[in-house]
Amino acid sequence: MKRTILHFDLDTFFVSCERLLDSRLNHKPVIVGGTGDRGVVSAASYETRAYGIHSGMPAKMARQLCPHAIFIKGNAGTYTKYSKLVTEIIQSEVPVLEKASVDEFYADLSGMDRFFGCYKYATELRQRIIKESGLPISFGLSENKTVSKIATNEAKPNNQLKIEFGAEKQFLAPLSIKKIPMVGEKTFRAFCNMGIKTVHMVQQMPVEIMTSVFGKNGRVIWQRSNGIDNTPIIEYHERKSISSERTYGRDTIDISKIRTTLAAIAEDLAFQLRRGGKLASVVTVKIRYSDFQTYSKQIKIPYTSADHHLIPLVQELFDKLYDRRVLIRLVGVRFSGITSGTYQINLFDDEKRTVDLYNAMDKIRLRYGSRSVVRASALGEGARSVGNFTNPFNGEPPIVLAHRTQ
């Protein structure tokens, strides 16, 4: 049986949510992201695209390119709410759903053509989403995830496109190779150096040449360029790691402030582990200096989710890592090597009252927020923006916070 894969993408999602809340923003250049000079663009309306503005661009540069643009800090809670609304609508209508990101969805409609017309069914579902959520949304329909995603991007804004079975190569051929998933800026430059700019040119190349130049990724890019993709729909995303980073408003060498930030991040991530019934076995600390040089160091540890074990390890890794005595721009912590399990008492270090204390604090955090109870070492100026109100182990991809600077 031939597969039929539907790909939905909410157009300029953050901007569209803001326009629902304030209709005065309609048809105006709107940018959602960090409002300070150190922020980045999380989403930009189509009106700003003509000025060369795109997501990930420094906010300072965006202001220079489009001085009359309206900048909005954004609210993660609002975007989560609308994302959940759209997810529930799609989930109620399709057999298998994969939520790839906060505004992107894949659905498997294979076999439904004998009962409905898949394209007609997808069209009716799109109209229902627009009617009930008020958000513009586009879709692509084809036999696999790659072609459907590219079709959605070609259909935008607020439109739809179906690629007939057998027409995948023909559809992809005239497009820029940059539109193939996995082809980032670095890979695109490598293709340009080879004189390759369109998908058609890759389609004509032997797969062996692609593999010799780009390794394993070369074969995948060649297959996707030829419309071949057998990737299944994944209903549940198992998190293999959790992490958090903070960029300072001004580069700092204040060690006390940096330690406070690291302690707050580690404490919050440890709570997320316990809330999800998880344990971590690898701790990584990352720092970025003012000259944008980035370094990280990690250590493998016995499985744990306890603050009083993880925070000292994070501080120890930072001490080993920070050796240039240069101003710091960003710090981050990642816990990986995650497995299911609950915190166990260490026979040599812990007592039953330690576990009881964690249970009591976590109950308060679940009710009032992850920063409602914190350690004294995690209190201070460097910890103000730390905190997470969503469960990272709920099977959904993480939301990109619109107000977070990079």
> CA 282, CA 396: separation in Å to the nearest integer?
22
Burial 361-386 (b: 16+ CB within 10 A, else e): bbeebeeeebbeebeebbeeebbebb
- Clarify whether 267 is annotated catalytic: no
Q: How far is CA 223 from CA 74, 187, 194, 232, 352, in A?
A: 38, 16, 19, 15, 56
> CA 309, CA 321: separation in Å to the nearest integer?
19
Burial class (CB in 10 A: 0-12, 13-18, 19+), 212: exposed
Which stretches does DSSP call E strand in 176-268? 241-252
- 41 contacts 33 by C-beta, under 8 angstroms: yes
Three-state DSSP class for 192? helix
Which residues touch 76 (CB under 8 Å, ≥6 apart)?
399, 401, 402, 403
Residue labelled with tokens 């001004």: 250
How distant is the alpha carbon of residue 224 from its chain centre?
22
* H runs (alpha helix) in 25-74: 46-49, 59-65
- 314 contacts 263 by C-beta, under 8 angstroms: yes
**3-state helix/strand/coil string of 314-378:** HHHHHHHHCCCCCCEEEEEEEEECCEECCCCCCCCCCCHHHHHHHHHHHHHHHHHCCCCCCCHHH
Q: Which of 104, 154, 245, 316 is catalytic?
A: 104
Residues in the chain: 406
Nearest Cα neighbor of 6 from 181, 124, 171 is 124
**Catalytic residue set:** 104
